Amino acid sequence: MRCPYCGFQEDRVIDSRPFKDGSSIRRRRECLKCGKRFTTYERIEDIPIMVIKKDGRREPFQRQKLLTGLIKACEKRPVSM
């Protein structure tokens, strides 16, 4: 994380806690060069996993399709489930 005051790249986290609904984290940081403190808010980006098909089109990943394919591949094989 870059210090907003001096631009130094290294800092240390002083305090970390969930923020509001728990979907983000509030961190209190201290710059190791100038010693000033600043706050950052971090949240996870929810990017859906996309599957690129052989013909080039994209569709959302479906866990059930993967499980069905694995079960079908193991039907006549000596694989315990």
Phi, psi of 69 (to 5 degrees): -65, -40
Distance, in Å, from the CA atom of 63 to the CA atom of 60, rounded to the nearest integer, reads: 10
pLDDT at 1 (0 to 100):
85
Distance, in Å, from the CA atom of 41 to the CA atom of 36, rounded to the nearest integer, reads: 17
pLDDT at 81 (0 to 100):
66
Q: 16-75, pLDDT tens digit by residue?
A: 999 888 889 999 999 999 999 999 999 988 889 999 999 999 999 999 999 999 999 888
Does residue 9 contact residue 2 with C-beta atoms inside 8 Å?
yes
Higher pLDDT, 80 or 27: 27
Question: Per the confidence metrics, is the pTM higher than 0.95?
Answer: no
